Amino acid sequence: MGGLAAIARQLGHDVSGSDQKMYPPMSTQLENLGVPVHEGYQSTPLQSNPDLVMVGNVMTRGMEPIEYLLNSELRYVSGPQWLGEEILRYKKVYAVAGTHGKTTTASMLAWILTDQGIDPGFLIGGVSPHFESSAKLTDSEHFVIEADEYDSAFFDKRAKFVHYHSDVVILNNLEYDHADIYPDLTAIQTQFHHLLRTVPGNGEIIVNADDPHLKTVLNMGCWTDIVSFGSGPHADFWVMPLGDNPSHFSIQNSTDQLAEVRWNVSGMHNQLNALAAILAATRAGVAIAAAADSLCRYENVKRRMELVGEPHGVRVFDDFAHHPTAIETTLAGRRPHVHGRLIAVVEPRSNSMRSGVHARLLPKSLQAADHAFVMVYPDMQWDELVLEKLKQKASVIDSVQTLIEQVAAWVKPGDEVICMSNGGFENAPRRIAAAIEQQRLVQSGGQ
């Protein structure tokens, strides 16, 4: 929604909005764009009778502003519908879909196209250091979008991505998520099938050949050319790590090594994200070697393994991982780089996590960590068996302040702390870094 506000502002509209618990980097971005944000969900901002109300999918019937909106007969639309009708129907759209890696892959693709002089428009669910905001509208025919399968609005239960008029679609991976709206994996696969139904025959589907759940989606029907990527020669293109350096890899096909990438991004999952972005960029006329060269200068989006401090030799990261697979992949990707202990700090904030759907998978996802601290709020009501298993691997804590104090007391120089949440987490990563700094000053007798 912040990105849509940025695009509407760029079109010259007066834009304001409402949200709860705004936090950086989006709150900072909106402030810089001159978009005022009303804290909380009340009807007051709507009493100015705006020309159009863009409704986010967090809003439901019974909420004060929605009831006022309907009773006042104001014009309203979902964000995906507005974007599709006003912007994307006139563009060549590169949509990045999947359970994990959407923001990172879309950011990589937008950077490749920008670095190669194409100047694409984009809408990404995070803030990249390469761009001033998470969204931009340009004169280029090319537009990169992070394509989410979550529903569009309380009045439109279709997945967001069916509105996007996609020409090139990246299917990164597929797992069960969004337990608040989808009953099972099959329901999500159906939504991805609906996405494929919207892609024209002269477009392209770029699919992760390592993922069996995506194969099921393709078998449901596909009318567009498919290019596959993966971790080995079962795919049309694949990545191959080079030597012992986890940040150096090559891109292969059945006959050649096509390019090499040296960068500062960790993890095999990000190598696959990179390959997907490179293949999509070829549809805009960018050669594989040129796209790989651009990625050698790529910097990851904020809150994707973002180093927020290094107090007294303890490196503290802020990361967006919140699904068990993402947590496991993040920790495994970081493990080779850590000389001390690897410490995971997790806030299970997503609806699927809080409901307990993924709770049984959480202990396994923490295996690469030497120790973990997990927030479990009283209203989560995870069953005792899950909590007992989790306590064998992690310290379970019900207060952010207590968590910060315990992490600060536990770490020592050489350790790495990875804080993982898809919410604000009460600014825990930076507060942990500050607490470590303060604790060491006290221990050394400093002021």
Q: Do 176 and 229 sit in the same domain of this protein?
A: yes
- pLDDT in the model for residue 424: 76
% pLDDT > 90, the chain: 57
pLDDT (tens digit per residue) in 203-223: 999 999 999 999 999 999 999
pLDDT (tens digit per residue) in 20-74: 877 777 788 888 888 999 999 999 999 999 999 999 999 999 999 999 999 999 9
Q: Do 58 and 205 sit in the same domain of this protein?
A: no
Number of structural domains in the chain:
3
pLDDT of residue 246 exceeding 80, the answer is no
pLDDT (tens digit per residue) in 331-348: 887 887 788 899 999 888
Q: Do 68 and 138 sit in the same domain of this protein?
A: no
Tell me the pLDDT of the chain averaged across its residues. Answer: 88
Identify the residue with better confidence: 374 or 200: 200
pLDDT of residue 94 exceeding 90, the answer is yes
Q: Do 119 and 67 sit in the same domain of this protein?
A: no
- pLDDT in the model for residue 354: 66
Q: Do 226 and 149 sit in the same domain of this protein?
A: yes
pLDDT (tens digit per residue) in 24-37: 777 888 888 889 99
Query: 30, 59, 78 — which closes off a domain?
Result: 78
pLDDT (tens digit per residue) in 344-360: 998 887 766 666 666 67
Q: Do 270 and 321 sit in the same domain of this protein?
A: no
Q: Do 368 and 402 sit in the same domain of this protein?
A: yes
Q: Do 134 and 203 sit in the same domain of this protein?
A: yes
Q: Is residue 270, in this structure, part of any structural domain at all?
A: yes
Q: Do 280 and 230 sit in the same domain of this protein?
A: yes
Q: Do 92 and 45 sit in the same domain of this protein?
A: no
Q: Is residue 347, in this structure, part of any structural domain at all?
A: yes
Residue 50 domain boundaries: 2-78
Mean pLDDT of 189-210: 97
CATH of the domain at 11: 3.40.50.720
Mean pLDDT of 381-404: 77
Q: Do 131 and 280 sit in the same domain of this protein?
A: yes
Q: Is residue 300, in this structure, part of any structural domain at all?
A: no
Query: 41, 61, 78 — which closes off a domain?
Result: 78
Query: 295, 319, 340 — which closes off a domain?
Result: 295
Phi, psi of 296 (to 5 degrees): -65, -20
Identify the residue with better confidence: 375 or 151: 151
